[in-house]
């Protein structure tokens, strides 16, 4: 009976909260009714405010008791003893409504976030029932493939809290909290909930930017505490890292960079440094050489024909005839090699018929040659001239098509290979000289400082994974396949990429070498990447992934989640260096446009106030652990809806593994105890008391550590 559920009445109301005066019968914080026993007046518990057929749901944020004395107007001399009154403040978060659903032709009762109608003073307030909790927590639909369980309600531990996968990942999310509050475990729990509880989601893929080497431990089972041998792994996770300054697993070829990446890394000064650098890179990629290549091809072709004609015009006998005839054949072979050398350029210009006709005519000349014996008589010369006439017709009819070879329109932002060492010692100095001749010779000294910077980057072993890469086929496709979870060994046991051996060892651990399977977690271990280039590396990887997904024809058909651990390091609101600016630009663009293409961000940080406001504004779901810093609390209040502000007063006192979950991913804001994960990320604080008390304490190997340090490892 509804009357049994009454626990109080409304005594104050504003746009998002209400104050409730509790009935005397409800002041024990437990309400016994026909529907059972219910907790009331407990922080984070729920109440119902009935308004017609709808029910407003409120979450308790404050409980108060005060003494109140009532005057006795009949007997003014009477001593009035004050009576205690208990009130509680609730934030109205949404409504349970019943509506007709056209698709199923029946009424449906569901929870809707937000409040339309407001209660009046003296409006009754009810305790909440189990059925209503089921509706709020959507427990009956937790098995639905769109939901994943991440933990239990703190106040109602019998109820699991589920996230809507599409809303959580599709609209970007953030996991925030102080160091040691449980962020890494929460991210691990989310990933495992998808991959463990939803085995049908075999196409899911997560890429983790791991700056502290925490997540390998979360998805690996070792044989012993030394972690010397892997017993098993979870979900085909792939760790990509370099064990030292010598690249082994992580290679990021410099030719993948675009003009903005080069600018952020090399920091050219004002004036001539930037323009000269970019012109030289453009030339190295080939954009200025294409017209020259066409011109050189045409010139070399015509030169070979002219030489043959010149030889034919010279009367020759004896030894002169021998050498002249041999010279003709050498020119023919030279033209064949010229066509072979430029085969790609000709093929991409759709000049296959030209190639075939030229080769056919040149073969005729080879047959006419027949050997060096004999004179160049009139008959031989006539036949050769006839073939040369054919060739000249082919050239006249087809060579102009080369100017339409749009695939050779390389620009500075085109990820085409060029040799960086050759660039430093040859191409760049040439452009410095050219610019100095056109302007002022004194410019050489000014641009020379940039050249020294390029040499320093090239010679520094820490950046070998960027600048010391040899050319390899399909480099960009192979790199993205590696990062985005596609097995590079699907088509062959051997792949000609610099990380082949490293990858093969990883895949042997994953136990699916040469099978058509994918790794579903890519952990990019950036813990040993020099801090000088961390932002450059994260920005470049992020941009390549984003631009690749932009180019997929069926937009959004290859969804990826990008987990940015310690995100405040490379997407700060206030930037001090060009590399920080570059990283922020890239991830802000992903935050604003990525979800259209299926690229989702999951931000993790202990300092939300230092994160880019643009990125935080694009996050629609939040899992917030303990936050004690007043600046971070104040900033986070400015990010979320005012409806949830009262809930944030709990942030400084949240225990480990507990978090407030709010936003589009849940039906209502809720405090959650995050599910336990085993094994955990390697983010635990050292146990001083235990280590200091060990009998068999072992000090670090100072010599070994320092030797590696001194050798540049």
- Asked if 323 and 362 sit in the same domain, the reply is yes
Phi, psi at residue 535, to the nearest 5°? -65, -40
CATH code for position 356: 1.20.58
Do 191 and 236 form a contact (C-beta atoms < 8 A)? Answer: no
CA distance 586 to 546: 9
Q: Is residue 592 assigned to a domain?
A: yes
- Helix-helix angle 534-550:578-593, to 10 degrees: 30
- Asked if 132 and 179 sit in the same domain, the reply is no
Number of structural domains in the chain: 4
The angle at the Cα of 97, spanning 60 to 2, to the nearest 5 degrees, equals 65
Q: Is residue 417 assigned to a domain?
A: yes
CA distance 356 to 186: 63
- Asked if 427 and 396 sit in the same domain, the reply is no
Query: For residue range 430-454, what is the model confidence (pLDDT) as tens digits?
Result: 888 888 887 777 888 888 889 999 9
Query: For residue range 661-694, what is the model confidence (pLDDT) as tens digits?
Result: 988 888 888 899 999 988 888 876 677 888 888 8
Mean pLDDT, the chain, as a whole number?
Answer: 82
- Asked if 546 and 663 sit in the same domain, the reply is yes
- Asked if 393 and 436 sit in the same domain, the reply is no
Q: Is residue 52 assigned to a domain?
A: yes
pLDDT interval class at 288 (50, 70, 90): very low
DSSP annotation of 518 reads: B
CATH code for position 230: 3.40.50.300
* Residues 6 or more apart in contact with residue 66 via CB below 8 angstroms: 84, 85, 87
- Asked if 298 and 277 sit in the same domain, the reply is no
- State percent of the chain over pLDDT 70: 83
Q: Which residues pair with 572 in a beta bridge?
A: 611
Indicate whether 594 pLDDT > 60. yes
Task: From 614, 621, 711, 604, select the one nearest 669 (Cα to Cα).
Answer: 621
Q: Is residue 59 assigned to a domain?
A: yes
* Residues 6 or more apart in contact with residue 126 via CB below 8 angstroms: 2, 5, 6, 7, 47, 48, 49, 50, 55
Burial (CB count within 10 angstroms: exposed 0-12, middle 13-18, buried 19+), residue 439: exposed
Q: Is residue 585 assigned to a domain?
A: yes
CA distance 48 to 28: 18
Q: Is residue 474 assigned to a domain?
A: no
If you write DSSP's letter for every residue of 691-704 in order, what string do you get? HHT-TT-----HHH
Task: From 432, 468, 462, select the one nearest 450 (Cα to Cα).
Answer: 432
CA distance 40 to 26: 8
CA distance 322 to 309: 16
- Could you give the maximum distance between any two Cα atoms of the chain, in Å? 150
Instruction: Determine the 3-state secondary structure of 36 from DSSP.
Output: strand
CA distance 572 to 589: 14
Query: In the predicted model, what is the mean pLDDT of residues 278-291?
Result: 73
pTM of the complete model beyond 0.75: yes
Domain final position from 137, 172, 190: 137
Strand (E) or helix (H) holding 208: strand 206-210
Instruction: Tell me the residue range of the domain where 592 lies.
Output: 161-235+520-676
For residue 578, the model assigns a pLDDT of: 86
- Asked if 327 and 438 sit in the same domain, the reply is no
Query: For residue range 366-422, what is the model confidence (pLDDT) as tens digits?
Result: 777 665 555 566 677 778 888 888 887 777 777 766 654 444 456 788 898 889 998
Tokens for 122? 């003296």
* Residues 6 or more apart in contact with residue 366 via CB below 8 angstroms: 329, 332, 333
- Asked if 280 and 296 sit in the same domain, the reply is no
Q: Is residue 689 assigned to a domain?
A: no
- Asked if 648 and 576 sit in the same domain, the reply is yes
- Asked if 281 and 301 sit in the same domain, the reply is no
Residue with the two structure tokens 């990283």: 583
Instruction: Determine the 3-state secondary structure of 287 from DSSP.
Output: coil
Burial 100-113 (b: 16+ CB within 10 A, else e): eeeeeeeeeeebeb
- Asked if 437 and 554 sit in the same domain, the reply is no
Q: Before 285, cis peptide (omega within 30)?
A: no
Which of 72-76, 119-123, 504-508 holds the top average pLDDT? 119-123
Task: From 166, 46, 140, 139, select the one nearest 621 (Cα to Cα).
Answer: 166
Task: From 155, 401, 415, 181, select the one nearest 285 (Cα to Cα).
Answer: 415
CA distance 145 to 203: 14
Positive or negative, the CA dihedral 282, 286, 289, 294 is negative
- Asked if 173 and 312 sit in the same domain, the reply is no
pLDDT interval class at 29 (50, 70, 90): low
Q: Is residue 240 assigned to a domain?
A: no
Do 117 and 13 form a contact (C-beta atoms < 8 A)? Answer: no
Q: How far apart are the first and last CA of the chain?
A: 74
């Amino acid at each position: 009976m509804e009357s049994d559920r009454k626990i109080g009445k409304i005594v104050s109301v504003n746009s998002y909260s209400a104050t409730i005066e509790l009935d005397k019968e409800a002041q024990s914080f437990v309400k016994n009714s026909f529907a059972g026993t219910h907790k009331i007046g407990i922080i984070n518990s729920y109440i119902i405010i009935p308004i017609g057929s709808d029910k407003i749901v409120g979450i308790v944020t404050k409980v108060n008791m005060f003494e109140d004395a009532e005057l006795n107007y009949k007997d003014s001399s009477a001593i009035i003893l004050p009576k205690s009154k208990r009130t509680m403040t609730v934030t109205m978060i949404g409504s349970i409504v019943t509506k007709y659903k056209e698709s199923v032709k029946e009424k449906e009762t569901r929870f809707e976030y937000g409040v339309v109608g407001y209660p009046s003073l003296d409006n009754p307030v009810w305790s909440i029932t189990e059925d209503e909790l089921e509706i709020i927590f959507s427990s009956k639909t937790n098995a639905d493939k769109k939901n994943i369980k991440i933990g239990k309600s703190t106040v109602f531990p019998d109820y699991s809290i589920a996230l809507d996968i599409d809303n959580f990942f599709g609209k970007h999310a953030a996991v925030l909290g102080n160091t040691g509050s449980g962020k890494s475990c929460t991210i691990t729990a989310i990933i495992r909930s998808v991959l463990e509880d939803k085995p049908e989601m075999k196409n899911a893929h997560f890429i983790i930017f791991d700056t502290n080497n925490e997540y390998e431990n979360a998805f690996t089972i070792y044989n012993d505490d030394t972690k010397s041998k892997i017993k098993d792994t979870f979900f085909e996770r792939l760790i990509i890292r370099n064990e030292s300054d010598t690249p082994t697993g992580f290679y990021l070829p410099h030719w993948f960079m675009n003009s903005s990446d080069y600018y952020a890394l090399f920091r050219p000064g004002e004036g001539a440094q930037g323009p000269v650098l970019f012109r030289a890179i453009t030339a190295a990629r080939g954009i200025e050489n294409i017209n020259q290549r066409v011109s050189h091809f045409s010139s070399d072709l015509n030169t070979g024909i002219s030489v043959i004609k010149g030889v034919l015009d010279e009367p020759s006998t004896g030894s002169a005839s021998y050498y002249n005839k041999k010279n003709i054949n050498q020119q023919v072979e030279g033209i064949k090699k010229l066509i072979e050398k430029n085969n790609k350029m000709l093929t991409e210009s759709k000049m296959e018929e030209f190639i075939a006709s030229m080769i056919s005519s040149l073969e005729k000349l080879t047959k006419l040659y027949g050997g060096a014996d004999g004179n160049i008589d009139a008959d031989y010369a006539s036949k050769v001239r006839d073939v040369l006439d054919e060739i000249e017709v082919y050239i006249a009819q087809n060579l102009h098509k080369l100017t339409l070879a749009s695939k050779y329109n390389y620009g500075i932002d085109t990820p085409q290979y060029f040799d960086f060492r050759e660039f430093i010692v040859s191409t760049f100095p040439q452009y410095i000289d050219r610019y100095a001749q056109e302007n002022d010779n004194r410019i050489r000294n000014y641009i020379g400082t940039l050249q020294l910077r390029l040499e320093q980057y090239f010679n520094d072993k820490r950046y070998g994974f960027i600048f010391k890469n040899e050319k390899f086929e399909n480099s960009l496709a192979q790199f993205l396949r590696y990062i985005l979870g596609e097995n590079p060994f699907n088509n062959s046991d051997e792949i000609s990429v610099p990380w082949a051996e490293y990858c093969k060892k990883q895949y042997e651990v994953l136990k699916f070498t040469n099978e058509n399977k994918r790794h579903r977690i890519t952990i990019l271990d950036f813990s040993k990447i020099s801090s000088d280039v961390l932002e450059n590396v994260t920005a470049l990887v992020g941009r390549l992934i984003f631009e690749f997904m932009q180019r997929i024809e069926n937009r959004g058909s290859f969804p990826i989640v990008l987990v940015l651990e310690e995100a405040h390091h490379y997407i700060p609101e206030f930037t001090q260096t060009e590399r920080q600016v570059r990283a922020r630009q890239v991830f802000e663009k992903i935050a604003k446009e990525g979800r259209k293409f299926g690229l989702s961000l999951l931000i993790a940080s202990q300092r939300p106030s230092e994160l880019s406001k643009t990125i935080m504004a694009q996050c629609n779901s939040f899992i917030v652990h303990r936050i004690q810093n007043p600046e971070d609390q104040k900033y986070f209040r400015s990010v979320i809806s005012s409806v949830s502000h009262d809930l944030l007063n709990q942030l400084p006192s949240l225990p480990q593994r507990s978090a407030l979950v709010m936003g589009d991913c849940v039906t209502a804001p809720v405090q959650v105890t995050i599910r336990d994960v085993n094994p955990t990320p390697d983010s635990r604080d050292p146990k001083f008391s235990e280590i200091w008390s060990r009998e068999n304490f072992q000090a670090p190997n100072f010599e070994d550590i320092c030797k590696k340090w001194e050798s540049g490892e």
